[in-house]
Amino acid sequence: MKILVVGSGGRDHAIAWKFAQSPRVKKVFVAHGNAGISQVAECVDARTIEEMADFAEKEKIDLTFVGPEKPLSAGIVDLFNSKSIPIIGPDKRTSRLESSKCDTKVLLRELGIPVPEFAVFDDPERAREYVRSVGYQVVVKADGLAAGKGSLVCSNVEEAEEAIHLIMEKRIFGDSGNRVDIEKRLFGRELSFFCFTDGYTVLPMVAAQDYKRARDNDEGKNTGGMGSYSPHPWLTDELTEKIMSRVARPLIEGIRQKEKMIYKGVLYLGLMLVEEEGDITPYVLEINIRLGDPEAQVILPRLNTDIVDVCEKILEGQLHEIKLEWDPDYRLCLIAVSGRCKGKKGWYKGYPERYRIGVPIFGLENIDPSCLVFHSGTGFNESGQFITTGGRVFGIVSRGKTLQEAREVAYREMKKVSFEGMYYRSDIGLE
CB 153 within 8 A of CB 101: no
pLDDT (average), residues 233-259: 96
CATH domain 117-184 topology:
Dna Ligase; domain 1 (3.30.1490)
pLDDT at 282 > cutoff 80: yes
Measured CA to CA in angstroms, residue 172 lies from 143, 152, 347 at distances of 13, 11, 22
* Cα separation, 319 vs 388, whole angstroms: 40
CATH number for the segment(s) 2-89: 3.40.50.20
CATH 3.30.1490.20, the chain: domain bounds: 117-184
Looking at domain 189-321, its CATH architecture is 2-Layer Sandwich (3.30)
CATH 3.30.470.20, the chain: domain bounds: 189-321
pLDDT at 221 > cutoff 90: no
* Cα separation, 157 vs 194, whole angstroms: 34
CATH 3.40.50.20, the chain: domain bounds: 2-89
Report the phi/psi class of residue 75: left, alpha or beta, with left for phi > 0 and alpha for psi in -120 to 50: left
Cα 117–120–126 angle (5° rounding)? 110
pLDDT (average), residues 417-427: 98
Cα 337–411–21 angle (5° rounding)? 80
Provide the mean pLDDT of the chain.
96
Residues 6+ apart with CB under 8 A from 65: 3, 4, 5, 6, 15, 19, 87, 88, 89, 311
pLDDT > 70: percent of the chain: 100
Q: Residue 301: what pLDDT?
A: 98
pLDDT digits (tens, 9 = 90+) for 35-87: 999 999 999 999 999 999 999 999 999 999 999 999 999 999 999 999 999 99
pLDDT at 343 > cutoff 90: no
CATH domain 330-423 topology:
Glycinamide Ribonucleotide Synthetase; Chain A, domain 4 (3.90.600)
pLDDT digits (tens, 9 = 90+) for 181-211: 999 999 999 999 999 999 999 999 999 999 9
pLDDT (average), residues 311-338: 98
| 352 alpha-carbon distance from chain centroid | 16
pLDDT digits (tens, 9 = 90+) for 124-160: 999 999 999 998 999 999 999 887 778 899 999 999 9
* Cα separation, 322 vs 343, whole angstroms: 52
